[in-house]
Structure 1
Amino acid sequence: MITRDAAAFFAHARTLRPDFGPATAQAAFLVAPEGFSLAEQSAQDNRYMAQASGFDAECAMTQHRALHRAMSQVLPTVCFAGDADTPDAVFPNNVFATAAGRYVVGRMRHPVRQREAARADIRNFLGGVMDYAEIDLSTQPHACELTGSLVIDRARGLGLCGLSERCDEEGARLMHEAFGLRATLTFDLAPGEYHANVVLAVLAGRAAIVSPRGFADTGVARAIADFYAPNAIVLSEAEHSAFAGNAIALSVDTVWMSARADAALDPRNRQLLAAAGFQVRAVELDAIEAGGGSLRCCIAEIF
């Protein structure tokens, strides 16, 4: 099933058991922010990006190393070298993603990011070392920026896909098929939003962080929150602006977000996360956030 009808989607979703696959990844990889600078093409439709003067490449590298060290305490984490010709490559989850036995290469909207899809080292790692089959969507014409646009409930095999310039209806269909999902809900993001994973996170299949401000139709946000209730964390505008929606569960009991997001988190929402069985781990990433994404954007999961 792939539909815009939230009521039909969640009626079907309520019939599904959380037996689709592991709720969290077995490993992950990062791409170092070498040459980290303003990508002017990406800035055309990413309002979160700082001006060129707001980029500090040395601080970004230091913070990224700290993220790598912290993640390595929880799951195997590989870090690939960056490249000054691909200044957005620090956010690899938009370009590469995995499902059981296969990896998917996305079609990026902007040419500066399309270069990332051609990286032989990452393809050889996933296809050669991991021995995953390849599904290459990068050469077809429809934008589909993988787990930036598509938030996946891995336990149930559900996709929640935000449409924008970075993912159209056909791109959503291609990703639905590539990941082999049971059902996908498509919805329009609010004007000015570029990726669903900035305004929505599904945590280990049993909780969701939702920012209604990021949805063109806030009724869709409410429907998502209702599905994951009582483990639904609804963000305020301040929490939204601090990237609290750009979070990820790397294990069944911990949700990761940036230190900025953690500082903005309302005490009630922190209590809701605790009640759902999650502690919060935070890493300083303000230098990385100048690039218009936060912690979850940095992480490409390996399932």
Structure 2
Amino acid sequence: MISRDPQAFFAHARGLAADFGPPVARAAFLVAPDGFARAEQSAGDNRYMAAAEGFDPGRASAQHRELHRSLAEVLPTVCFAGDPDTPDALFPNNVFATGRADAAGDPAPARYLVGRMRHPVRQREAERADIRDFFGQVLGYAEVDLSLQPHPCELTGSAVIDRARGLGYIGLSERCDEAGARLIHQALGLRASLLFELAPGEYHANVVLAVLAGRAALIAPAGFADPATAAAIAAFYAPHGIVLSAAEQGAFAANAIALSSYRVWMSGGAGRALSADSRAALAAAGFAVVTVELDAIEAGGGSLRCCVGEIF
């Protein structure tokens, strides 16, 4: 099912069991911020990106290593070298994604997706033979290459996935059109996907929404063109649909990820911006908040979730 109608989507979703697959990844991968700098093409539709003088590559590299250490405490985490010709490559989840189930929730051959990026500077990332070979030759995953078709589909930047239920929440923007959203839905074998327009100035759904281990969600209504869609998502995950303020959204609190059933990671700035109510709501959902300082990386217009590729 693919729908733009939240009422129809959630009427269907409420009948689905949380048996699509593991709710959190079994491993993660990163790409080092080598050559980290302002990418002018990406800046054209990313209002979160700092001016060129706001980039500190050395500090970004140190913070990225700390992120790697933090994640590796909980699950295997590999880090690929960066490339000065791809200054946005430290945000690999837009380019590569994985899946291991079909729409019925039955085990399916493991596969990795290669997304179609909007900007040419990011399209270079999809050509990386080392990352493709890691998935294809080392892990034995089948390839689903969407990078050569014409529709932008920036994978788990544009699509927030509830892996427990096989649900996709796909934000439409210049970085993912409706045809691209359908390609993501099909390639991941999802049971149902809700398509919605992002608010003007937003570029990825994962900046305004996070689904945490299938049992909670962080939602920033200001990032949705229609706030009723945000409210419907919050109601679906009630009592753990956590509505964020504009200040929390601006600090990247929705750009968070659960890589275990009991921890949610976000940047240090996001953690400090969390209200007492939001923090208490996460605790009630069974999550401890783990933070990593990423202010230098956030100059690139993304935060912690954007840095993490999931391996299912």
Same fold? TM cut 0.5: yes
Taking the TM superposition and a 5 Å limit, the aligned residue runs for 1:232-243 are 232-243=241-252
The answer to whether the aligner puts 1:66 opposite 2:66 as a matched pair is yes
State the alpha-carbon separation in 2 of the partners of residues 221 and 232 from structure 1. Answer: 10
TM-superposed CA distance for 1:80, in Å, is 0.2
State the alpha-carbon separation in 2 of the partners of residues 197 and 60 from structure 1. Answer: 21
Match of 1:109 in 2: 118
State the alpha-carbon separation in 2 of the partners of residues 130 and 218 from structure 1. Answer: 41
> Given residue 193 of structure 1, which amino acid in structure 2 is its aligned partner?
E
Task: Tell me the alpha carbon deviations over residues 106-129 of structure 1, each in whole angstroms, 9 at most, x when there is no partner.
Answer: 000000000000000000000111
Q: Secondary structure at the match of 1:251?
A: coil
> Given residue 20 of structure 1, which amino acid in structure 2 is its aligned partner?
F
State the alpha-carbon separation in 2 of the partners of residues 203 and 14 from structure 1. Answer: 17
Match of 2:44 in 1: 44
TM-superposed CA distance for 1:72, in Å, is 0.5
TM-superposed CA distance for 1:11, in Å, is 0.3
TM-superposed CA distance for 1:21, in Å, is 0.1
Match of 2:106 in 1: none
TM-superposed CA distance for 1:23, in Å, is 0.1
TM-superposed CA distance for 1:192, in Å, is 0.1
Moved over 2 A (4+): none
> Given residue 75 of structure 1, which amino acid in structure 2 is its aligned partner?
L
The answer to whether the aligner puts 1:298 opposite 2:304 as a matched pair is no
Task: Tell me the alpha carbon deviations over residues 27-82 of structure 1, each in whole angstroms, 9 at most, x when there is no partner.
Answer: 00000000000000000000000000000000000000000011100000000000
> Given residue 205 of structure 2, which amino acid in structure 1 is its aligned partner?
A
> Given residue 80 of structure 1, which amino acid in structure 2 is its aligned partner?
F
Match of 1:148 in 2: 157
Task: Tell me the alpha carbon deviations over residues 76-111 of structure 1, each in whole angstroms, 9 at most, x when there is no partner.
Answer: 000000000000000000000000100000000000
Task: Tell me the alpha carbon deviations over residues 150-172 of structure 1, each in whole angstroms, 9 at most, x when there is no partner.
Answer: 00000000000000000000000
State the alpha-carbon separation in 1 of the partners of residues 55 and 236 from structure 2. Answer: 39
The answer to whether the aligner puts 1:31 opposite 2:40 as a matched pair is no
Q: Secondary structure at the match of 1:78?
A: strand
Taking the TM superposition and a 5 Å limit, the aligned residue runs for 1:123-162 are 123-162=132-171
Match of 1:21 in 2: 21
What percent identity do the matched residue pairs reach?
Answer: 73
TM-superposed CA distance for 1:232, in Å, is 1.0
The answer to whether the aligner puts 1:225 opposite 2:272 as a matched pair is no
Match of 1:198 in 2: 207
Normalised by the length of structure 1, the TM-score is 1.00
Q: Secondary structure at the match of 2:296?
A: helix
> Given residue 66 of structure 1, which amino acid in structure 2 is its aligned partner?
E
- Give the count of matched residue pairs: 303
State the alpha-carbon separation in 2 of the partners of residues 270 and 71 from structure 1. Answer: 20
State the alpha-carbon separation in 1 of the partners of residues 194 and 275 from structure 2. Answer: 28
Q: Aligned Cα RMSD in Å?
A: 0.3
State the alpha-carbon separation in 2 of the partners of residues 238 and 111 from structure 1. Answer: 32
State the alpha-carbon separation in 1 of the partners of residues 286 and 272 from structure 2. Answer: 20
> Given residue 195 of structure 1, which amino acid in structure 2 is its aligned partner?
H
Q: Which runs of 5+ in 1 are unaligned?
A: none
Q: Secondary structure at the match of 2:15?
A: coil
> Given residue 293 of structure 1, which amino acid in structure 2 is its aligned partner?
G
